[in-house]
């Protein structure tokens, strides 16, 4: 068995959960915060058999879009404003950040 950990944008998560449910795949949704932007995103825990990993990654690719988000550089690194006025810059975010891990043991009791 594998555990897929997928960090996705909030805007995509409901459609992705619907697609997973339609395919009979269970998921747990956790509220999370990106370390760089310090904004909300969503982390899904998805436990599947090894043969379903590619199907899940395919659904994530179809559902989760890359977007651009504005970030003010000094705010992001937490330094005080001194010599210049910070200008927001665009950073690309997503579609999704995906980790696939081996599950040593799985039980529902």
Does 63 bind ligand 2BA (CB under 6 A)? Our answer is no
Residue from 92, 104, 106, 109 touching ligand 2BA (CB under 6 A): that is 92
* Residue of closest CB approach to ligand 2BA: 34
Residue from 27, 37, 57, 74 touching ligand 2BA (CB under 6 A): that is 37
Does 93 bind ligand 2BA (CB under 6 A)? Our answer is yes
DSSP E strand stretches across the chain: 2-8, 28-33, 40-48, 67-71, 89-93, 96-102
Does 94 bind ligand 2BA (CB under 6 A)? Our answer is yes
Q: Per this entry, what is the length of the chain?
A: 109
Does 35 bind ligand 2BA (CB under 6 A)? Our answer is yes
CA quadruple 63, 67, 29, 35: dihedral positive or negative? Answer: positive
* Residues whose CB falls within 8 Å of the CB of residue 86, separated by 6 or more in sequence, listed in order: 72, 73, 74, 75
Q: Which residues bind ligand 2BA (CB under 6 A)?
A: 7, 34-37, 41, 91-94, 97
């Amino acid at each position: 068995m594998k555990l897929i950990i997928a960090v996705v944008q909030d805007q995509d998560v409901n459609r992705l959960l619907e697609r997973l449910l339609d395919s009979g795949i269970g998921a747990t949704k956790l509220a999370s915060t990106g370390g760089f932007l310090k904004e909300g995103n969503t982390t899904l825990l998805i436990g599947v058999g090894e043969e379903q990993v590619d199907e899940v990654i395919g659904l994530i690719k179809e559902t989760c879009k890359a977007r651009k988000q504005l970030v003010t550089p000094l705010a992001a690194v937490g330094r005080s404003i001194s010599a210049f006025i910070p200008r927001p810059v665009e950073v690309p975010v997503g579609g999704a950040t995906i980790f696939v891990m081996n599950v040593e043991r799985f039980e529902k009791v």
